[in-house]
């Protein structure tokens, strides 16, 4: 598959993740009478990955996330030459998704992007008021587990055809756990897209939502490579 086609798929997939996931939080989470709440937002993020895994997984691998690309690279599943281009495509897709969401959201009278715009944050900008350390640990651990799920579900030894379901449900569970702490990132492209349009505090805290997911992903890649290492048979 040509790299240009892979990058196009990553752009579209990350666009959908941000528009679908963050869109559910901005437009539908607290909508009067029929708001979907935390549970609905968590499922929306999981569904974006599930649907795109089936739609573009055979084209680009459906990373949709710089941390996923780093984790797969560390785990020996992704070539170094494609790492940078994939990340650029993912961030561009995330920004495009956030741009479309901004146009839609600002069509409502009184909408205030400064209120958050589904941005990730810690301390006074954490939904539950959690500290920087709590946010850092949460994002590292949640991304670590997300990559363990991805690496395990896509292992050639795993049952075939079920990876998108495991990965989508895994991301849903991650959101159910961590939305109160950081609004759940585990994805620097998702965080960057909405932070640009929120501006202000979201950009100043964006560093954590690049650092922590990438650290968690790299650790998972290292651990899963250890799982894959064959032990030497005992000499008779």
pTM for the model? 0.93
Looking at residue 34, its pLDDT comes to 67
Looking at residue 235, its pLDDT comes to 47
Q: Does domain 3-228 have CATH number 3.40.47.40?
A: no
- Are the CB atoms for 149 and 166 separated by under 8 Å? yes
Looking at residue 234, its pLDDT comes to 53
Tens digits of residue pLDDT in 12-32:
999 999 999 999 999 998 776
Ranges of residues in the chain with a pLDDT under 50 are 235-236
The tokens for 45 are 């993020």
38-68: b or e for each residue (b if 16 or more CB lie within 10 Å)?
A: eeebbbbbbbbbbbbbeebbebbbbbbbbbb
What are the boundaries of each domain within the chain? 3-228
């Amino acid at each position: 598959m040509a790299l240009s086609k892979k990058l196009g798929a990553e752009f579209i997939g990350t666009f959908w993740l941000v528009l679908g996931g963050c869109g559910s939080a901005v437009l539908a989470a607290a909508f009067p009478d029929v708001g979907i709440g935390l549970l609905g937002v968590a499922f929306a993020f999981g569904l974006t990955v599930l649907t795109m895994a089936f739609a573009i997984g055979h084209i680009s691998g459906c990373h949709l996330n710089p941390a996923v690309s780093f984790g797969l690279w560390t785990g020996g599943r992704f070539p170094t030459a494609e790492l940078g281009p994939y990340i650029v495509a993912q961030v561009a897709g995330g920004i495009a998704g956030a741009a479309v969401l901004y146009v839609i959201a600002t069509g409502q009278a009184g909408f205030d992007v400064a209120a958050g715009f589904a941005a990730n944050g810690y301390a006074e900008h954490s939904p539950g008021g959690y500290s920087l350390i709590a946010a850092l640990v949460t994002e590292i651990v949640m991304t670590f587990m997300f990559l363990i799920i991805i690496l395990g579900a896509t292992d050639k030894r795993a049952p075939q055809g079920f990876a998108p379901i495991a990965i989508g449900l895994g991301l849903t569970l991650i959101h159910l756990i961590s939305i109160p702490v950081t609004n759940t990132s585990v994805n620097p492209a998702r965080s960057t897209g909405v932070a640009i349009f929120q501006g202000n505090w979201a950009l100043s805290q964006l560093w954590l939502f690049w650092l922590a997911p990438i650290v968690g992903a790299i650790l998972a890649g290292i651990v899963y490579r250890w799982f894959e290492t064959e032990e030497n048979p005992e000499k008779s």
